[in-house]
Structure 1
Amino acid sequence: MRQIPLLDVREGGPIAHAAARVAAALALRDACLAPMPRWGHVCLAPVDRLARAWLRKSASRYFEDLERIAEILGFHGAATLNMSYLFACTTQAFVDPFGAPTIRRSLDWPFRGLGRGVEIAWAAGPAGGFYNVTWPGAVGVLTAMAPGRFSAVINQAPMRRRVDGAAGFPYDFALNLTNALKNETGWPPDHLLRYAFETCATFEEAVTLLSREPLARPALFTLTGTRPHEIALIERTERDAEVLRGPVIVANDWQDPRSGWRGRMGPENNEARRALMRQTPAGAESFAWAIPPVLNHTTRLVVEMTSARDDGLAARGYECAPWRHLPEPATADFRLCDGAAAIAA
């Protein structure tokens, strides 16, 4: 079973990561795009240009990173895959039996290859180092842990709906995307989270930053610090934020439903995943919660992490064969406490 590599990219960041892992990035691209028809591959170049044009006018500070990574990788799709948005996730933030605020997190994405291709990037910024659970060629941060500071993840937020029923879904989806591309100039959520890890020295600084900065799309940020009371969920729209304190379970909906929004995956699915997490004891064995319905055919990654310990990160990748209903582990469990040796990028 494949080992999840740990790469030291404290000098050079995602650009150094991409340069060191070009072959891995190409394999990941091919796996993600394999189900796409041939005509879809032809569309990658113009879609890349659209994604890059939008990122250039956004608040992100990482446009040049993406440009350099696309140049290094030398294939169409780098910008498109970076600007695509995660499908669904389940997150739990709680205090473990030893008093450490902890995050359990699954990431569901229909792209194949993400479970097999996951890597840990040991990155750094002015505020210190952090471990980013990521992929070669990725610019932003979806799941990361900074020892002694904070841990954080992103869940996809509910969808803004104007027309009820399944027939209205394509209309609302297209309108939301068009509005984001034409009118929104805020941060892509994963870019803002990277900026938080690079520049925020404390849990509270990160909560303030993620609550304040304008976003290009709604997002759910879950954070934990190093002390038991340092747990927060930030429910974000493009301009507004609601900060909820204390242990929380997050699917793909607001904690309290709001008019005009529909939770991703539907209320039954979201509640079923939350119910499983509620039933899992704080002291349960590692990844005991990674079972249906949290584990499903699109699950690509599960992570457990706490910033209260220097070695508080564990990860496992999943892949699902086309003929199977549930994925199977595609990687051996990664644990910092196992003394994993970093590869110099």
Structure 2
Amino acid sequence: MLSPAHAFDPLEPIPVLDTGPSFPMESLLAHEARAHALLDLATGALPSAALRQLDYVSRRWLAKWENAHLAEIDAIAERLKRPGAYFLSVNYEWACTCRVAPGPDRKSARLVRVLDWRTPGLGRHVIAARVENRHGPFVTMTWPGYTGVLTGMAPGRFSAALNQAPMRKAIGFYVLDWAVSRRRVWTMPHPTPAHLLRSVFEDATDFADARERLTREPISTPAIFSLAGIRPNETVVIERTETEARLHVGPNVAANHWEAPGWRGRSRGMASAERASMMHCVIPDLDTDFSWLKPPILNATTRLALVADAAEGRLVAQGFEFMRPATQPLHLVA
């Protein structure tokens, strides 16, 4: 088990895995021990009976709406032979901070991404999957067996990341609002935001195509997408409900609250507005020291920091646990 006293020295490198389109299963086969370690950390507090019920409900939802990745998730669950695969494929409870802006030399667009998640171990066990793909390769920062895409870079096309959107205030009490939100998902015949972002990396030909799809295609739950192309003027933050979109074109930041006028909800994570304000000042350098990563952007749930430039086909990344590095910095040229 990880703990604040856990020794991360010497820091291990982030594994880089070259895969084909079936990267979730290929990453699981290559790093199965990491997958089981993460499941232990993510589900250790849940009784097996409760986890099996969550799997049952999650799979029913995937089957009800004929999710395109159900067969893949079935195969992953069969390989793991333990509960949790279905629930963790559709559940996401995280807070993130992103920036899209021109690079310091104003020759390209860059994505700055910090991923926060309560589950420990995601920073320690993150991997970089380089995926061969018919529309061009892409890199996804992911975990063994995970079928969505949360953060990625497609050389010569775009970089993108997904943030969790605010929770709707349906009743006014947090627990009841959360329950209403989850019940609403059951009625949605659309892919998860992470599965939509995966399909965009797989099929979108360029920044304009990716922006159109992330704006237009319906999703099962609200989300915020940050997208950076290859030219310095190709940056946008896309705030989404299931079927509506608000675009913030140009250099922008995204945290876990709405910027769109009239859209209201409970912000996610800690100090969402403060994180966004601080991210405006971050210079998107491709340096591996991550000296800009300071509280409140850096917090107890921070698991990954990344800067990506699709024009140069480069990214830098590092895993974090307990507000300190949990991996060596990764400098990847894709």
Matches within 5 A, 1:131-146: 131-146=139-154
For residue 182 of structure 2, the aligned residue among 173, 177, 195 is 177
Alignment of 1:71-220 (within 5 A): 71-98=78-105, 99-164=107-172, 168-181=173-186, 183-220=187-224
In the superposition, the TM-score normalised over structure 2's length comes to: 0.92
| Counterpart contact for 1:305–1:313, Cα < 8 Å | yes
Asked whether the equivalents of residues 130 and 144 of structure 1 are also in contact (C-alpha less than 8 Å), the reply is yes
Residue identity over aligned pairs, in percent, reads 38
1:284 shift after superposition? 8.6
CA distance in 2, matches of 1:259, 1:302: 28
Q: SS state of the match for residue 261, structure 1?
A: coil
Q: Give the Cα–Cα distance (whole angstroms) in 2 for the partners of residues 71 and 84 of structure 1.
A: 19
Question: In structure 2, how many angstroms separate the alpha carbons of the residues matched to 1:178 and 1:152?
Answer: 28
CA RMSD of aligned residues (A): 1.7
Confirm or deny that 1:12 pairs with 2:8. Answer: no
Partner of 2:259: 255
User: TM-score with structure 1 length normalisation?
Assistant: 0.89
Structure 1 residue ranges (4+ consecutive) displaced by more than 4 angstroms after TM superposition: 282-286
1:33-54 Cα offsets, whole Å, 9 max, x none, are 33x15xx233111211111111
In the alignment, the residues of structure 2 paired with residue 284 and residue 200 of structure 1 have an alpha-carbon distance, to the nearest angstrom, of 25
The partner residue of 1:235 within 231, 236, 239 is 239
Unaligned runs of 5+ in 1: 321-326, 340-345
Counterpart AA for 2:327: T
Structure 2: distance between partners of 1:263 and 1:215: 19
Q: CA 1:19–1:281 in 2, change beyond 3 Å: closer, same or farther? A: closer
C-alpha distance in structure 2 between counterparts of 1:141 and 1:283, whole Å? 23
Pairwise CA distance, 1:125: 2.9
More helix by share: 1
Show the 5 A alignment for 1:221-300. Answer: 221-265=225-269, 269-283=271-285, 286=288, 287-300=290-303
Gaps of 5+ in 2: 1-10
Given that 2:94 and 2:269 are in contact with CA atoms closer than 8 Å, whether structure 1 keeps it comes out as: no
Gap change, CA 1:175 and 1:11, over 3 Å in 2: closer
Offset of residue 31 of structure 1: 2.1
Whether the 8 Å CA contact 1:93–1:249 is kept in 2: the answer is yes
CA distance in 1, matches of 2:62, 2:262: 29
SS of 2:123 mapped into structure 1: helix
Cα distance in 2 between the residues matched to 1:54 and 1:293: 36
Question: Helix, strand or coil: the match of 2:137?
Answer: strand
Which residue is 1:323 aligned to?
none
**Hey, what's the Cα distance between the residues in 1 that align with 2:27 and 2:280?**
37
CA separation in 2, counterparts of 1:47 and 1:120?
28
Shift of 1:278: 2.2
